[in-house]
Structure 1
Amino acid sequence: MTNKFGIMTDSGADFSLDYMKKHDLLLIRTRIMIEETEYIDRDTITREEIIDKMINDKAKTSTSVAPPIDFDQVIRAGLERYEKILYLGISAKMSATLQNAIMTAKRLKTENFIAVDTETVSWGQSLLIDHAIRRRDQGIPIETVIEEINEMKKSIQVHFMVETLEYLRRGGRIGAAKSLLGTLMGLKPHLVVKDGEITSAGTVKSYSEGMEKFRAIAELYSKEFGNYVIVIMYGLENPEIEAFAEEIRKQYKPLHFLYEPIGANIICHAGPYLFGLGIIKIPDSAVDAYI
């Protein structure tokens, strides 16, 4: 058993398997339903396979919480390797995953499991986890890391632009009439994570308009935050989005910059034709973790 604390998360976060293995990140895997077939996220299906089925097979997709046995196995395995586990979970308003993990820890009668609601998802959740890993690896106590995470999650901005309303309609998240009207008008939803939920922040008419809107968000919060990390995230790879990401990196010179794929949790609901921006303030006392 190591003196370091373990870090646990769920499929709300979008890390690669290589990253998780490198940092021994404990993972609760969402179940992915594609039509009538159930898969395990990042185990029996990849995000690329999900995207292929959505585009080429027009498959209806959904997600569900992992079964109780998964929580039991992951927490037990973590406590065998670490004295304590810090679980940074998907927003409790978006999923029952966090509550299920807390209930499992209570049933196991352990006081060495600490759960924090990140109140976000995707690369918003991932940025908080990456920060916790960096600070843990510096030898920072778990109590200090939790204080930083709780402060940082107040600042985080996570925005998505969805190319088409079709996948939201397929999943029953908007009506057919609204989907048709939006498609005819060429409108693309701008979604934002706010108060732990994904809500509408308006619409745009094109990728370029969405990019300029995201650039304005980066401009505003980079000035407000001082020290910050930026991520540009994508569904399908797109040269236009990649070029935009490089522009943002050069223009704002964040402490750390990422250009990363969006995971299954968002893609299953909003479709593969989307991209996003995340920006988070880094505490002055933690800047050295990014240098």
Structure 2
Amino acid sequence: MKKAKVAWITDTTSSLSREFIENNNIFVVPLNVLINQVSFKEMIDITDKEFYERMEKEEGTFQSSQPSVGDFVDLYKSLKSEYDFGIAIHASSKLTGTYQTSMMAAEIAEFKIFALDSQTGSYPLSFLIKKGIELLDSGLHEQELISKLKSYRDHTRLYLVPSNLNQLHKSGRVSGTQKMLADLFKIKPILSIENGEAKIKEKVRTEKRALAWLISQLQEENKQYKIRKAAVVHANNAEQALKVQQLITESIPGLETETLMLIPVAGVHTGVGTIGLSWVCEQN
């Protein structure tokens, strides 16, 4: 029996390397970032680093928007002649409409896809894609694959610590009074992506305590689950990311780490300098 040819579809919130994308039949539809209402396609018109550098230096509004239906329709029509079907894994549908747009476009283009709302983004999303490819190569059927990935999805962790509340205030997520009090008392909110939504998980005094909280969470879950890797995410804050990597190495010797630039779709809310930590809990 001829093996089906499968296309993998995702978006730029997946933070996958260009090499991995090219080697695994992955088609990445870019989200858009808007700087003072001028739109740029991620990874095509502007890099994550360039976006954060402009956010740091320029005044004005910084926003993000999902891909158009047409972007997806064009892709799915082009895939029909070469691939038997696609597997689409996108950023949380509660944070962006990209997943819904992708589903609509596949129907319009009449291209068969098996889809998963990752309910997350960044490193956990890249993990789900890599695990999905691994499961498909092992012979797992598409429906079983999606079901298996859902179980992994429920054990992903992504925590973010904004360097300040300026951008959260500009985007309307934090009031002027909340910002003033946080600045005055050096309060650091720790954001968590849970069930597809961004929530304030904890509030601590000073960034040092915030990082200690992240490391303690990782340590506790490392005792209960198998954690293969911890990913440090940052919004153009490489120096602080290196410090977090060192803290992980000191706390959990032997645990693999990597650093990733925080996806702009999150950075438009959390701002330049944000630092975060992410991992996936697997069964021992």
TM-score (norm 2): 0.90
Q: Could you tell me how far apart the structure 1 residues matched to 2:77 and 2:3 are?
A: 15
1:255: Cα distance to partner?
A: 7.1
Q: Could you tell me how far apart the structure 2 residues matched to 1:256 and 1:80 are?
A: 40
1:224: Cα distance to partner?
A: 1.6
The secondary structure found in structure 2 opposite 1:12 is helix
Is 1:274 the counterpart of 2:268? The answer is no
- Distance of aligned partners of 1:80 and 1:277 in 2 relative to their CA distance in 1, 3 Å threshold: farther
The secondary structure found in structure 1 opposite 2:13 is coil
CA contact (8 A) 1:12 1:265 kept: yes
Is 1:234 the counterpart of 2:234? The answer is yes
**Structure 2 unmatched ranges of 5 or more:** none
Partner of 1:289: none
Q: Could you tell me how far apart the structure 1 residues matched to 2:157 and 2:227 are?
A: 14
Partner of 2:194: 194
The secondary structure found in structure 1 opposite 2:94 is coil
Residue-pair matches, total = 283
Is 1:6 the counterpart of 2:2? The answer is no
Q: Could you tell me how far apart the structure 1 residues matched to 2:17 and 2:62 are?
A: 21
Q: Could you tell me how far apart the structure 2 residues matched to 1:259 and 1:31 are?
A: 23
Is 1:154 the counterpart of 2:154? The answer is yes
Q: Could you tell me how far apart the structure 1 residues matched to 2:137 and 2:255 are?
A: 18
Deviates more, 1:204-213 or 1:86-95: 204-213
The secondary structure found in structure 1 opposite 2:164 is coil
The superposition leaves residues 64-95 of structure 1 with CA deviations (integer Å, 9 ceiling, x where unpaired) of 11111101122223333322211111111111
Q: Could you tell me how far apart the structure 2 residues matched to 1:82 and 1:246 are?
A: 44
CA RMSD of aligned residues (A): 2.2
Deviates more, 1:84-93 or 1:257-266: 257-266
1:116: Cα distance to partner?
A: 0.6
- Distance of aligned partners of 1:218 and 1:161 in 2 relative to their CA distance in 1, 3 Å threshold: same
Matches within 5 A, 1:9-28: 9-28=10-29
- Distance of aligned partners of 1:117 and 1:255 in 2 relative to their CA distance in 1, 3 Å threshold: farther
Identity of aligned pairs, percent? 17
The superposition leaves residues 132-191 of structure 1 with CA deviations (integer Å, 9 ceiling, x where unpaired) of 233344554433432221110111111111110001112222222221221122112200
Q: Could you tell me how far apart the structure 2 residues matched to 1:38 and 1:232 are?
A: 28
Deviates more, 1:124-133 or 1:244-253: 244-253
Q: Could you tell me how far apart the structure 1 residues matched to 2:66 and 2:44 are?
A: 15
Partner of 1:74: 75
**Structure 1 unmatched ranges of 5 or more:** 285-291
Q: Could you tell me how far apart the structure 1 residues matched to 2:254 and 2:135 are?
A: 18
Q: Could you tell me how far apart the structure 2 residues matched to 1:167 and 1:78 are?
A: 39
Letter in 2 for 1:38: S
- Distance of aligned partners of 1:137 and 1:38 in 2 relative to their CA distance in 1, 3 Å threshold: same
TM-score (norm 1): 0.88
Letter in 1 for 2:91: I
1:207: Cα distance to partner?
A: 2.4
The secondary structure found in structure 2 opposite 1:62 is strand
